[in-house]
Amino acid sequence: MKDLEFLQLKKQDFSDKIRFYFIYKNKHYFINNGHFRSGFSSKIIITKDRDKILSAFSKMGFLFDEIIRMHIVGYSKEKNNDELLYVLNLVPLNRKIRIFLDWKVFSPEFTRDMSRLFEVRNALSHAVSIDDVNYNPNKEISLSSQKGFCKFKGDFEKSWKKLLKVYEEEQKPVYSQLEMFSQRISKNNV
């Protein structure tokens, strides 16, 4: 998509049935409920804070749901996605990671890495602080130790960057549909 087409796309009114989260030039955007909005930042900051770590995991989980949704319905104007989003909320994260392996969205190695990271997420969601959680990349280390946290943080940031690349690749077919839609709109406005 060219910059001019992108600017025209931002000004459009959309059907309230279109839902599409996409990345354009390293920035995140969300078309939802008839509105075009900014999404979250591509940069993720991990600190030794339980709530901030869980927040970072929720961003990953959101992208997981959007990848599954893109595979099933694209950005279709005819389909309301509320039922699919409801079902996605019922599917555990470890099953979503397995779906990506089955669909060949994730490599076996990336699946393993994500599974190990999400074990931390599961433990954190049931813990009061990071003092009660271990990370197990190859051998178990405490998340509250300097070495353990640095290893976790590095692995998380590396996986986040890889997930963004995977997401951008997965959005291409839907993005192409949106680009054609944008071109039709720009021709009608000339």
Q: For position 181, what pLDDT does the model report?
A: 60
pLDDT band at 187 (very low <50, low <70, confident <90, very high): low
Structural domain spans, the chain? 47-189
With a cut of 80, say whether residue 29 has pLDDT above it. yes
DSSP letter, residue 137: S
pLDDT band at 12 (very low <50, low <70, confident <90, very high): confident
Supply angle C-alpha 147, 56, 119, rounded to 5: 60
Which pTM was predicted?
0.85
Q: For position 31, what pLDDT does the model report?
A: 85
8 A C-beta contact, residue 152 and residue 130: no
How many Cα atoms sit within 13 Å of 57 on the Cβ side?
Answer: 23
Which of the residue ranges 16-25, 121-130, 152-161 would you say has the lowest mean pLDDT? Answer: 16-25
How many Cα atoms sit within 13 Å of 141 on the Cβ side?
Answer: 15
- What is the arithmetic mean of pLDDT over 79-98? 86
8 A C-beta contact, residue 19 and residue 75: yes
For residue 188, give both structure tokens: 């009608």
- Cα distances from 114 to residues 18, 27, 189, in angstroms, run 29, 23, 45
26/132 Cα distance (integer angstroms)? 35
Supply angle C-alpha 106, 17, 186, rounded to 5: 90
pLDDT tens-place string over residues 98-149: 999 999 999 999 999 999 999 999 999 999 999 999 999 888 999 999 999 9
